[in-house]
Amino acid sequence: MTSLAPVPLPAGAVAAGLPRQRGGWWHDFVCPTHGTELSHAGIPGPVPPVGGVRCPHGCTVDTELVRGAWLVLSHQAWARRARVLAHRAARTGDAAARAEAVALLVGYADVYAEVAGGGEHERAQDWMLRGRLFHQALTDAIWAVSIGHAVWSLAEADPDRAGDLVPVLGMLDATAEAARAARGRLVDDGRFTSNYTAWLNAAGRVCSRAAALVRGDRQAPAVAGDEWLSGEHGQLAHALAASTRGGWEWEASTYYHGFVVRAYLLSLRGTDPTDLPADARDRLVAMVDVLAGLATDGGVLPSVHDGPYSRPALALEWTELAALADGFVADAGLAAVAAHARTEAAAGDGDDEGADGLEDELRRMAPGWFAAPPLAVARPPRPAVSLDEEVGIAVLRGAGIHAVLDHGPHGAGHGHHDKLALALFGRSTPWQPDPGQVPYGHPAWRSHYASAAAHPVVRVDDADPAEATGRLLARDERSLTVEVRGDATSWYDGARAVRHVVLGDGYLLDVVHARADRPRRLVLGLRPDVPLGVRVDGDVVRTAWLGAEALDGVHAAGAAGPDGAGTDGPVPVRAVVLPGPGPADDPQRERAHVDWAAEGATSATWVSVYQADVDARGGGADVTGVELDAAEVRVLRADGAVHVHALPEAMA
């Protein structure tokens, strides 16, 4: 593996490069006009660019919020640089790398005392768990974990020169104390399961252990005796409380799931995985397995619920997590995720993305991240249909198609109105992905990407639904049937929808049925992130989804509603193509959206049959048509075969 570690800088340049101002909230690093994240050019550096920060569409933005967000990213990049250099110096004895890492850490001790010594950030928003160096205690903790690990590496590798790091002790002690206080506020507020807790515990454990090493304490406490790990509110208790039995983080957000797993593994440095209590150890393995099972064969992680759709800085986090997971459990299954993330990270526009080197150091550091070899875990073969019933996330794999069906709880503050959404991927092509989310500081685009209109779901009267929880009706080895029901406080009052997805012989069958208590506009959306061709052929709609891998769709629909005599009769269902925003990495990327609508209907059924490239699906005759009646769907093949699928009783 080629090392991307940064070239060491002279100590004087290090001191001059550190920001000497508090950071704000990174989610404000967004163009107010276009909704895109701003450029990272110049990060890390001492001050934001004079005149403002550029957006990909040519704007220059210079506001207090953007400057504060730029400072967050710069502080985090400097801390990560210190960590990479410290790991490298510990591994190789590189004197220049050690000198710069020490200079950065001692410099940060001065910065912390100067700008954070006065207590919590007075400019933080009222809703925030306030930090000291940044608006949020969470941001403080993420930064402190990098700082703490840098100190840990240097002090552990060269105890005779640990005295060089004595100036950082006050900062380490203060960050651990602040983490404990912030965690206490979460516990008092009944928010122990917050993803913040994982990072506060990580900061407390890492900074405490780093300080102990500087003070000459070479003997780490056993896992059972480390309150940051095994205490009442420590990491292992949090992992069990904040995840399902199947391993999903409770919000069912891909981003926040990886976020907390990374915090757990970062805090477990120097431990033997076999020393963990069995329930916590097994849960952490399950959490790693969730990511491996969610990812496509090409390493794409669908961005379920809140989280970036595509972001080079996040890609670096995935490479770090993959390296940590490989140290924790054998055959972690994230090699494709790491490979895809490396490609994405290389697209970054700043020093913090393009020259990180952290993954390389983690994979090569000696001793390894953990104190023993990775766990050996027997895993059964991955099924064609996998499901976590507690969060309602199902993954279906077959015929060259990777589908994700989301039907569970809303996901609290990180949830989207995506009930019964069906995402479609090839090995590496996002035919119909979850669109992800913009930085939260843009309220208009944030609202859009959380909306039903942004997702491939049923909409009623073009309104956003209330938060809702769907339920599983049936499953077998090749299919799933799920449902959502509305009432006065959930989804759409007086409406219900059922989605039935089947892995057929060389195709994926998707049947969606909606009913309403009165004539309403019932719509099913298609939301691609590839060029989409749509052609109406009689009663059938044909779609062509392009990209590195192709997908063909054959669709039919029927609807009913009251006629003038007061009895139900047929209602037209029309597929309308309209321009819409692409996924959240760039809302200005226009895509062809399809709204397949029935006006004044009390029921509607939509049927889609999808086929990937012949090679991907393993051959088989093309699907030429699809027919729908009240009891069954008939899939017509080019060789004359007809495949009959009975509709679930819930669609009657």
pLDDT recorded at residue 356 = 72
Residues 375 and 393 in one domain: no
Mean predicted confidence (pLDDT) in 79-102: 97
Residue with tokens 């891998």: 549
Which stretch of 54-58, 121-125, 195-199, 517-521 has the lowest confidence by average pLDDT?
A: 121-125
Q: Is the pLDDT of residue 486 over 80?
A: yes
pLDDT recorded at residue 616 = 83
Instruction: Give me 588's structure tokens.
Output: 């200005």
pLDDT recorded at residue 354 = 40
Residues 529-550 have pLDDT tens digits of 999 999 999 989 999 999 999 9
pLDDT recorded at residue 15 = 61
H or E element in which residue 503 lies:
strand 495-503
In which region does residue 247 sit, left (phi positive, over 0), alpha (psi from -120 to 50) or beta (all else)? Answer: left
Q: What are phi and psi of 185, to 5 degrees?
A: -65, -40
Residues 556 and 640 in one domain: yes
pLDDT recorded at residue 126 = 81
Q: Is the pLDDT of residue 2 over 60?
A: no
Residues 277-310 have pLDDT tens digits of 999 999 999 999 999 999 999 999 999 999 999 9
Q: Is the pLDDT of residue 164 over 90?
A: yes
Q: Which of 21, 22, 24 is nearest to 441 (CA)?
A: 24
The parent domain of residue 342 ranges over 239-379
pTM listed for this prediction = 0.95
Residues 123 and 267 in one domain: no
Q: Is 229 a domain residue?
A: no
Given 379, 410, 435, the domain boundary residue is: 379
> Per-residue confidence at 3, pLDDT binned at 50, 70, 90?
very low
Residues 368 and 397 in one domain: no
Q: Is 31 a domain residue?
A: yes
Mean predicted confidence (pLDDT) in 587-606: 97
Residues 189 and 319 in one domain: no
Given 379, 395, 414, the domain boundary residue is: 379
Residues 477 and 365 in one domain: no
pLDDT recorded at residue 641 = 95
Instruction: Give me 333's structure tokens.
Output: 């299954």
Residues above pLDDT 90, as percent of the chain: 89
Q: Is 233 a domain residue?
A: no
> Per-residue confidence at 353, pLDDT binned at 50, 70, 90?
very low
- Number of structural domains found in the chain: 3
Q: Is 225 a domain residue?
A: no
Q: What is the mean pLDDT of the chain?
A: 94
Residues 621 and 482 in one domain: yes
Q: Is the pLDDT of residue 409 over 70?
A: yes
Rounded to whole angstroms, how far apart are CA atoms 252 and 141? 22
Mean predicted confidence (pLDDT) in 243-247: 97
> Per-residue confidence at 220, pLDDT binned at 50, 70, 90?
confident
**Residue 239: Cβ-neighbour burial (10 angstroms; 0-12, 13-18, 19+):** buried
Q: Is the pLDDT of residue 122 over 90?
A: no
> Per-residue confidence at 565, pLDDT binned at 50, 70, 90?
low
Degrees (nearest 5) of the Cα angle 581, 585, 587? Answer: 25
Q: Are 557 and 605 in contact (CB under 8 A)?
A: yes
Rounded to whole angstroms, how far apart are CA atoms 28 and 125? 12
Q: Is 252 a domain residue?
A: yes
Residues 509 and 392 in one domain: yes
Residues 7 and 72 in one domain: yes
Amino acid at 26: W
Amino acid at 579: P
Residues above pLDDT 70, as percent of the chain: 96
**Residue 358: Cβ-neighbour burial (10 angstroms; 0-12, 13-18, 19+):** buried
Mean predicted confidence (pLDDT) in 52-56: 96
Q: Which residues contact 531 (CB under 8 A, 6 or more apart)?
A: 545, 546, 547, 592
Q: Is the pLDDT of residue 621 over 50?
A: yes
> Per-residue confidence at 350, pLDDT binned at 50, 70, 90?
low
pLDDT recorded at residue 120 = 83
Q: Is the pLDDT of residue 7 over 80?
A: no
Q: Are 236 and 276 in contact (CB under 8 A)?
A: yes
Q: The CATH number of the domain where 435 resides is what?
A: 2.70.98.70
Mean predicted confidence (pLDDT) in 233-261: 97
Residues 22-50 have pLDDT tens digits of 999 999 999 999 999 999 999 999 999 99
- The secondary structure of residue 465, as a DSSP letter, is P
Q: Is the pLDDT of residue 6 over 80?
A: no
> Per-residue confidence at 619, pLDDT binned at 50, 70, 90?
confident
Residue with tokens 């039919």: 556
